[in-house]
Amino acid sequence: MLRALNATSSSSFSKLFVSHSTLLCFFHLSISSNSKKMEEHRTPSAVQTNIESRSGRQSASLSKSSLKTKVGQSSSLSPSRRSRSPQSVESQRMQTSPKRAIGASQEKSPGSESEEGPFDICIPAIKGLVKLNKSILVLNREKRKELKCPAEQYLRPGMVLLKKFLGHMDQVKIVNKCRELGIGSGGFYRPGYRDGAKLHLQMMCLGKDWNPESRLYDKSRSFDGAVPPEIPEELRKLVDRALNTSHKFLRELAENVEEIPNMSPDICVVNFYSNSGRLGLHQDRDESEESLKKGLPVVSFSIGDSAEFLYSDVRDVDKAKKVMLESGDVLIFGGHARHIFHGVPCIKPNTAPEILVDETTKLRPGRLNLTFRQY
């Protein structure tokens, strides 16, 4: 009986243990099932947030990886790319800079800015702009100003200044003619030198071209092949009249005063100075040897804003004499004064006659200067 009781107890305990194990398994399966259901029933926004968070971490990781890769590529360039010779670098720079390539050419003169189009000395008219007539007071003030200065001034042997020689209408015609020629073929450009330096002015040549670097005259411009326009006949007549006036003035001044030789201009260098323009002391001695020996004069017309004009026997600004050239003035120097050093240190803004800056011509602020010579 005892043996039977022990067997019964052992059997009951085994059944109880099996039941307990089964219950635990069932409990774990239930929890796992509920977890999956909760995962499936999560809101879409929560899922999206989780995805974006993971995606951001992956992007950051990729960015760092890419950066390391690029740095590695940069530092591991082939020797041929890292050690380019200065010649190849300069060659590439010239290819990407047309102006530098032109300046480095042995066949073309540098410094021309005509590639951007000729310079216009007048401000283009604006459509619809109402033109206001000048008052009688302004017109009378300009007329009185013309009569203030002596008509002629003797500066030194061979050098004469004709004050206000060119009337207002003559000045308007000169501006219009220079503008017409200046925006065409062979018109205004900013000259320069092979080293890249530029003159502080715009230039146009009539009759023959003058190259500021070679200091030679030629039939055409070296950098674009343009042929300079001829000197208009009306300008030649003004030069003749100015020379005749200077001869008459010198004869009346005194008996032993050196006369200025006569000349027939076949060259005219037209310069336009902005208000910041200037020209250092120099000599005009690039004409023919015969012309220079005879002392054939330079005849200079001033139009627009006034300018300080320096002149001296030596290239020394401190020793130079100064005279103010105003719009309409004509300066003549020849004979013993033919080789003087001369220059324009500054322009006086807002000094041009009203008739030149109003709607009649609309000349830009600055000074227009025409110098006539005989080659």
Q: Which residues of 139-161 are buried (b: 16+ CB within 10 A; e: fewer)?
A: eeeeeeebeeeeebeebeebbbb
Cβ(363)–Cβ(297) under 8 Å? no
Cβ(290)–Cβ(352) under 8 Å? no
DSSP code at position 16: H
199: part of which helix (H) or strand (E)?
A: none
- C-alpha span between 293 and 203 (Å, rounded): 27
Residue 308 β-bridge partners: 324
268: part of which helix (H) or strand (E)?
A: strand 267-273
- C-alpha span between 287 and 267 (Å, rounded): 9
Cβ(272)–Cβ(188) under 8 Å? yes
Q: What is the DSSP string of 327-340?
A: TT-EEEE-GGGTT-
Cβ(278)–Cβ(369) under 8 Å? no
- C-alpha span between 37 and 75 (Å, rounded): 54
Q: Which two tokens stand for residue 107?
A: 């066949």
Annotated binding site for Fe cation: 282, 284, 342
Reported as half-sphere exposure (CB side, CA atoms, 13 A), residue 177 has a value of 18
Annotated binding site: 282, 284, 342
